[in-house]
């Protein structure tokens, strides 16, 4: 497939996008009667109340150790979170003192056994990390507001597990966390607990389109925050749907403006679920292809939404090579087909995936049907 040739899905989505955001004479500004999107169920009464996992259910909250053996084959071992540290103490495939460790937290109705989670785990393992993933399918399949309520308890338990690993050589400097959707907030809770218990913050925390529903109007102690780790980076892919628009990290990347992502399936636009889920695919490919996802610094989130950042001379990589010495808001261009990265071609305004295509539709001087 020619990665530089737009398909019909992108054309369709571009038409919708431009119709919603622009008119021929200039930029569309909603009237006071129309207002600005408030997002999907920003407030969920009761989600800050306590939630407890009983002793009878605790064994279903698991840590999965994701490894590569000598033949480069994936080996996975699931353990209850309360005893995982003991089971790992004798592992010969783990080096907490000399290797980096990452804990990846899955999202709502998600599992560490799903292919995308395993792909992320393998990408980290190939780069020499000790890799752990959460298994929460028994808990994060409750009706969504109750799953949000459980998230803090899950995060606390993961944090306790990580604290116990410090007795085996884990240090904050070698600890990274990442999470998808509600898993991003759980990773934030785990980081908060780790700091409260050890006085040290994890080295890095990555949020992949942190969940917006039920979280948008909560204070920072109830969601992922830039204060949770020494370096916090956030990827936004569906800010007015299942994600959230505001800055949450030291560096926030807004992929293609952060609202909706282009799809690679003809005639089917990438709407809410698709755009939200695309965040983990971008991260997986960023791990696999260092320095291929390049963002442009923006003056504001609104500029990122409208891709008004191409006059910027400051760039940053999305992935393990992110330069945290250059904090701020970044517009992250992607392609519409796997493996999604655009490299340096994405830094050219004429290659912006929405507006460049919509211009081409009526580029002829005379249209005859």
19 confidence band (pLDDT: 50, 70, 90): very low
For residue range 264-305, what is the model confidence (pLDDT) as tens digits? 876 677 999 999 999 999 999 999 999 999 999 999 999 999
> What pTM value is reported for the model?
0.89
Q: In the chain, what percentage of residues exceed pLDDT 70?
A: 89
- pLDDT of residue 6 exceeding 80, the answer is no
Structure tokens belonging to residue 234: 């956030």
Give CA–CA dist 294/344, Å, rounded.
7
Residue-level pLDDT at 266: 64
Residue-level pLDDT at 156: 98
Give CA–CA dist 329/326, Å, rounded.
10
- pLDDT of residue 14 exceeding 50, the answer is no
Q: What is the mean pLDDT of residues 66-89?
A: 94
Beta strands per DSSP E along the chain: 22-23, 26-27, 62-68, 74-80, 101-105, 130-135, 175-180, 204-208, 231-236, 251-255, 294-298, 315-317, 328-332
| Domains of the chain, CATH where assigned | 8-24+58-360 (3.40.50.1820)
- pLDDT of residue 142 exceeding 60, the answer is yes
| Cross-sheet strand order for the sheet of 175-180 | 74-80, 62-68, 130-135, 101-105, 175-180, 204-208, 231-236, 251-255, 328-332, 294-298, 315-317
- pLDDT of residue 20 exceeding 50, the answer is no
**Which residue did the predictor score with more confidence, 119 or 4?**
119
* Angle between helices 182-198 and 144-165 in degrees, nearest 10: 40
Q: b vs e for 129-157, b when ≥16 Cβ sit within 10 Å of the residue's Cβ?
A: bbbbbbbbbebbeeebebbbbbbbbbbbb
- pLDDT of residue 17 exceeding 50, the answer is no
Give CA–CA dist 369/366, Å, rounded.
10
Q: What is the mean pLDDT of residues 343-355?
A: 89
Residue-level pLDDT at 359: 75
Closest CA to 102 of 205, 189, 192, 195: 205
Structure tokens belonging to residue 205: 């925390």
**Which residue did the predictor score with more confidence, 72 or 32?**
72
**Average pLDDT taken over every residue of the chain:** 90
Residue 351: CB atoms within 10 A of its CB come to 17
26, with CB counted inside 10 A (0-12, 13-18, 19+), is: exposed
Q: In the chain, what percentage of residues exceed pLDDT 90?
A: 78
- pLDDT of residue 10 exceeding 80, the answer is no
36 confidence band (pLDDT: 50, 70, 90): low
Q: What is the mean pLDDT of residues 185-208?
A: 98
Residue-level pLDDT at 37: 59
CA-based max dimension of the chain: 74
4 confidence band (pLDDT: 50, 70, 90): very low
Residue-level pLDDT at 3: 46
16 confidence band (pLDDT: 50, 70, 90): very low
Q: What is the mean pLDDT of residues 44-59?
A: 95
Residue-level pLDDT at 263: 87
Give CA–CA dist 207/187, Å, rounded.
8
What's the full length of the chain, in residues?
A: 369
Q: Dump the DSSP string for 277-291.
A: HHHHHHHHHHHHSTT
Residue-level pLDDT at 158: 98
- pLDDT of residue 5 exceeding 60, the answer is no
Of 174-178, 260-264, 293-297, the poorest mean pLDDT is in 260-264
Residue with tokens 């796997």: 338
Alpha-carbon torsion, ordered 160, 166, 167, 170, to 10 deg? 140
């Amino acid at each position: 497939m020619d990665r530089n040739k737009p398909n019909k899905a992108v054309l369709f989505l571009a038409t919708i996008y431009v119709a919603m955001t622009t008119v021929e004479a200039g930029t569309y500004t909603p009237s006071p009667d129309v207002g600005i999107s408030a997002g999907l169920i920003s407030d969920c009464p009761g989600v800050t109340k306590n939630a407890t996992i009983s002793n009878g259910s605790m064994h279903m909250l698991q840590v999965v150790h994701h490894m590569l053996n000598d033949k480069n084959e994936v080996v996975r071992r699931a353990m209850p979170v309360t005893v995982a540290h003991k089971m790992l103490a004798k592992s010969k495939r783990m080096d907490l003192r000399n290797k980096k460790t990452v804990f990846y937290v899955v999202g709502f109705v998600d599992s560490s056994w799903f292919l995308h989670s395993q792909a992320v785990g393998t990408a980290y393992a190939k780069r020499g990390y000790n890799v752990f993933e959460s298994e929460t399918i028994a808990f994060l399949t409750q009706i969504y507001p109750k799953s949000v309520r459980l998230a803090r308890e899950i995060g606390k338990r993961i944090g306790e597990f990580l604290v116990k690993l410090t007795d085996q050589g884990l240090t904050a400097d070698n600890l990274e966390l990442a999470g998808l959707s509600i898993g991003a907030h759980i990773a934030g809770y785990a980081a908060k607990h780790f700091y409260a218990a050890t006085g040290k913050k994890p080295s890095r925390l990555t949020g992949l389109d942190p969940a917006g529903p039920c979280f948008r109007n909560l204070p920072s102690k109830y969601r992922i925050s830039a204060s949770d780790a020494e370096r916090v980076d956030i990827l936004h892919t569906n800010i007015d749907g299942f994600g959230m628009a505001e800055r949450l990290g030291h560096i926030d990347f807004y992929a293609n403006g952060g609202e909706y992502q282009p799809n690679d399936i003809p005639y089917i636009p990438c709407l809410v679920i698709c755009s939200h889920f695309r965040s983990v695919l971008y991260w997986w490919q960023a791990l696999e292809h260092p320095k291929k996802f390049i963002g442009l610094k923006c003056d504001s989130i609104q500029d990122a939404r409208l891709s008004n950042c191409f006059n910027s001379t400051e760039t940053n990589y999305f992935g393990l090579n992110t330069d945290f010495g250059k904090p701020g808001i970044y517009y992250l261009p992607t392609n519409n087909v796997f493996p999604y990265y655009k490299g340096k071609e994405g830094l050219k305004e004429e290659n912006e995936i929405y507006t460049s295509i919509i211009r081409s539709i009526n580029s002829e001087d005379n249209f005859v049907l």
